[in-house]
Structure 1
């Protein structure tokens, strides 16, 4: 029996925030959310709360290909949680209804990136069931959080988020996370096709890597953890991640925490948007060239993109002017430290355009902590570091952090992956039966000739994160920074 009382946390909010803002390796918090009402948010409960309201599900094939199953290769349906729950139990109920064309044994379904503020807009009292104030962020609740509901196998391609760090609460079922450090970026073959602001995708299907085409992936180091109900995972800034539901039904809640480095990242994202939209919009459209992620709705014009870039640079400069002399960044604290990072998809999801997005933050990345700094972090049964694995181990095993315990367990089992991302229209996608999940090229299919370069090949070089970082640096130097 734990010595902790139900209402006593292992860390104070102040200490938890210190850990979240300083730790640059993924870790799992245990025994921090035992009194959160959100722990009761299983699909059956949420179905009763929503009372027949439909939400959008993304459907993909359970078969594992050499090419990542991007959102542009999925189908979408509108369904109630009750319909989803019946389907996910494998019942042949779906002789009619939204899931009728999708055999549960062949498909997974994912209601991903669902902003709680929008789904429960008529029930704002439910926002208080999520209490990120316990993690040192007063006032942050379900209103600034996102809901994820999936069936077994539901996943998204491996990617990193340009903005913020991520706190993820597991509510129902288990999810397996495959995380790779920022230093592994070149081994993961980054691409901006399909394009969406704030998400840099990997060309590698982590579940079934094509090592002939992507040999450097052998040099990557996976940090793998199975997240169980009641645990909270910290995903540090710019850590790549591939996430898969491994139980019949899973529910997660997350919130992106803005960081001082987000402001510089917004300048880089604005440059990337200008280049991608300009080049892809000028290209003659070809059948199946679904370069725009569904979340982006439409390709923005050059004028709008230039306006976005100028506003990002202007906000960056204001931040620099407000910073303490001698410091390389400015900080956002207290009530001002809100969901700026969630502008990730929320900017388009909730209609926040570039001119209305609040750009709070800064410039430089947090340095990698030294060994002595890590020693100051209170790792133990309540804070479990997600340890690195050799590539061979990561392909066949996992590190699991079990609830309420500090033991890291190893499982030998073949990994199957994927993740989520979607929440907008079924733009450019087929919604017909049995046509979901044809793998999109996105520059991922092998070239027939070494000299047959495509537009996407060029873009992969032009908007490579290292190149964009240098361009942003030169641009800001031009502005006198």
Structure 2
């Protein structure tokens, strides 16, 4: 019998060109039929890993207005076999790693597991496919990653087993997500908003944020552009996905910003204080560096950025020039220049689906005739963005700072603030202002401009 081969809709070169041109999340279909990773179900990985223990993050299944950060979760070390037994209500022993966490009350997540480290004695598992920058994510229903943006690069996510629902927000809506650096992680900026259960009384600007939602199916690949906010939740009993990180040339400036941020947060949070006793370092961060070490990183980052500017003879960017460009409803840059006939056009179609704004379209799960599931995009008549619409004018108004704990006092007079009911400004309140992305961007510009003189 002849072997049936399936032609991929895009070559690797075409796929890379698409990713280089687009700044809106999208889903690739029919691109993974020959990928070995498609067989990496939880059971298959358990067979390959054997007695190797993984660190699982556990959280309670409960609705709350507060996001559950990783520093607030419980952690256990367990094999995948023990994890799989727990997911069906069994534990190998009464004193097993999950014995204190009833499966009915908790979800579990083995996240950020670098494939190269996990299979260091089995290099064939990741050779030839960029596995050294790829991570495994294995979780149960309800397992989630708090809403955040990644400081560096962009991501390609392959869904292997089960489904995950992604809530994505564009970089232009950062002010509406109430960014915070506590808990601190170098490569992430977290949101103070619980996306599924937002507290609009305390965080009212979130109502202006534009959400893009997609439920990723096995075999599909999601592209998450640079600086897009995302909240991810598993919606099936067991999910497995592979996340591949792609570094971008423009990340030298981001590294300067992150070096400045780390220097400030470590200096302030390391200072002894009665209100400085919270668990502020994210579990993914290994240690607190000294001030001298952090300043070395600042100098190295500035030097790397300067050398790139000299090589490419590029001018120093200011914060306005570095702000995200205006984009149309397809995620492409809006410009006043006349279109070039030779400009590359994103080949949307049955194998390349944009993740549209929820006001513009929504992703639904539609059953196929054979009982399988697929994504189907339903588009409404109302555009997500427009040059003269009321909704667009809302998004143009971006406050420089959002202080989530002080909305009730911004209009008070100085005399009123002397009252006994005036809320105390904490160290974290101060950090939320000092480390706001707009502030760090200005500080980064000043450093780079000074270094170029």
Q: TM-score per shorter chain, which class?
A: 0.7 to 0.9
Task: Point out the more displaced range, 189-198 or 291-300.
Answer: 291-300
1:456 aligns with 2:428: yes
5+ residue gaps, structure 1, are 129-138, 330-362, 411-442
Aligned to 2:358: 389
What secondary structure does 2:270 align onto? helix
> CA shift at 1:407, angstroms?
2.6
TM-score, normalising length: structure 1: 0.77
What is the alpha-carbon distance in structure 2 between the residues aligned to residue 189 and residue 312 of structure 1? 27
| Residues 62, 106 of structure 1: 8 Å contact kept | yes
Mark the CA change 1:404 to 1:398 in structure 2 (over 3 Å): closer, same or farther. closer
1:370 aligns with 2:333: yes
What is the alpha-carbon distance in structure 2 between the residues aligned to residue 287 and residue 199 of structure 1? 21
| Residues 261, 366 of structure 1: 8 Å contact kept | no
What is the alpha-carbon distance in structure 1 between the residues aligned to residue 377 and residue 96 of structure 2? 43
What is the alpha-carbon distance in structure 2 between the residues aligned to residue 229 and residue 300 of structure 1? 40
- The one-character-per-residue Cα deviations of 1:238-265 (angstroms, maximum 9, x if unpaired) are 0000000000000000111111221100
What is the alpha-carbon distance in structure 1 between the residues aligned to residue 261 and residue 404 of structure 2? 20
Mark the CA change 1:103 to 1:326 in structure 2 (over 3 Å): closer, same or farther. closer
Aligned to 2:21: 22
Report the structure number with the largest CA radius of gyration.
2
- The one-character-per-residue Cα deviations of 1:333-392 (angstroms, maximum 9, x if unpaired) are xxxxxxxxxxxxxxxxxxxxxxxxxxxxxx9577443366998100111000001014xx
Q: Report the count of equivalent residues.
A: 397
What secondary structure does 2:284 align onto? helix
Aligned to 1:106: 105
Aligned to 1:474: 446
What secondary structure does 2:186 align onto? coil
> CA shift at 1:211, angstroms?
0.5
> CA shift at 1:451, angstroms?
3.8
| Residues 113, 148 of structure 1: 8 Å contact kept | yes
5+ residue gaps, structure 2, are 380-402, 409-419
Task: Point out the more displaced range, 227-236 or 274-283.
Answer: 274-283
Mark the CA change 1:75 to 1:406 in structure 2 (over 3 Å): closer, same or farther. closer
- Equivalent in 190, 196, 201 of residue 201 of structure 1: 190
Aligned to 1:253: 242
> CA shift at 1:144, angstroms?
2.2
> CA shift at 1:75, angstroms?
0.7
> CA shift at 1:44, angstroms?
0.5
What is the alpha-carbon distance in structure 2 between the residues aligned to residue 295 and residue 400 of structure 1? 34
| Residues 31, 404 of structure 1: 8 Å contact kept | no
| Residues 163, 258 of structure 1: 8 Å contact kept | yes
Aligned to 1:125: 124
What is the alpha-carbon distance in structure 2 between the residues aligned to residue 90 and residue 16 of structure 1? 42
What secondary structure does 2:145 align onto? coil
What is the alpha-carbon distance in structure 2 between the residues aligned to residue 450 and residue 34 of structure 1? 61
Q: Greater relative contact order (Cα 8 A, min sep 6): structure 1 or 2?
A: 1
| Residues 30, 404 of structure 1: 8 Å contact kept | no
1:222-261 equivalences under 5 Å are 222-261=211-250
1:55-94 equivalences under 5 Å are 55-91=54-90
| Residues 177, 225 of structure 1: 8 Å contact kept | yes
